Amino acid sequence: MRNYRIALGVAGGLLLTFGVFRLVTELDAGDLLVLLVWLIAAVALHDGLIAPITVGTGIALAAVPPRGRRYLQGALLAGALITVIAIPLIGRQGTQPESKAILLRDYAANLALLLGMTAALALALYALRVLREQEPAGAPPVEDEAN
């Protein structure tokens, strides 16, 4: 274990140092400063905005009864991840020359479709669960509810 840790640590440290060295030596000072701002801004934006919104949503959801909550959480989570990818596409669609054949789709409509499908799937799974729980007593317990 100790040897693995040392080997990984040394390899990682060397690669990291090499990358930083090349960045510092090959970018001009102005670009380097902007890159530094990007790096700090990315962490600030994530830790100061994206993560708090996610955590806040989770706290707000605590009011929802647990039986339905897991499906709501799942749908929101999957939907949010898809939305993250779709937003830049929506912002960028239709901005490029036609012959590039890039960003020609209606990404807002496609996102709505994907989110609708996600919601429908989560609803269907929830309905299935409610139906199964209404089965007469004595039915075998469903395994994935054990947790």
Partner 1 sequence: MCFVTGMLSHYQYQPWSWLPVPASPVQAYRVTQGLHVATGVAAIPLLLVKLWSVYPNLFRWPPIRSMKHALERLSVFVLVASALVQLTTGFLNTLNWYPWPWSFPSTHRYLGYVLIGSVLLHIALKLPDIKYGLQARLGDADVLTEVPWNENPLAHSNAGTVPPPVMPAMDRRGLFVAVGSGIGVIVLTTIGQTVTPLARIGLLATREASKGPQGVPVNKTAMSAQVLTLATAEDWRLDVTGPTPFTLTLEELESMRSVSEHFPLSCVEGWSVGAEWRGIPVIDLVRRAGGDTSSSVEVFSLQPNGYNHSMLVGPHVGAALIATHLNGERINLDHGYPVRLIAPNRPGVLNTKWLHRIEVT
* Residues 24-83 interacting with partner 1 (rule: CB under 8 A): 26-27, 30-31, 34-35, 38-40, 42-43, 46-47, 50-51, 54-55, 61, 64, 66, 69-70, 73-75, 77-82
CB of 93 to partner 1, least distance (A): 9
Count of CB atoms situated within 10 Å of the CB of 73: 15
The CA–CA distances, whole Å, from 126 to 13, 30, 57 equal 48, 54, 20
Residue 103 CA to residue 91 CA, distance in Å, equals 10
Q: Which of residues 121-140 bind partner 1 (CB under 8 A)?
A: none
Q: Tell me, what amino acid is at 1?
A: M
The CA–CA distances, whole Å, from 122 to 53, 132, 147 equal 22, 15, 19
Whichever of 95 and 138 has its CB closer to partner 1, that residue is 95
Does position 19 bind partner 1 by CB under 8 A? yes
Task: Pick the binder of partner 1 from 49, 85, 108, 142 (CB under 8 A).
Answer: 85
Does position 92 bind partner 1 by CB under 8 A? yes
Task: Pick the binder of partner 1 from 59, 97, 131, 141 (CB under 8 A).
Answer: 97
Check if the beta carbon of residue 93 is closer than 8 Å to that of residue 103.
Answer: yes
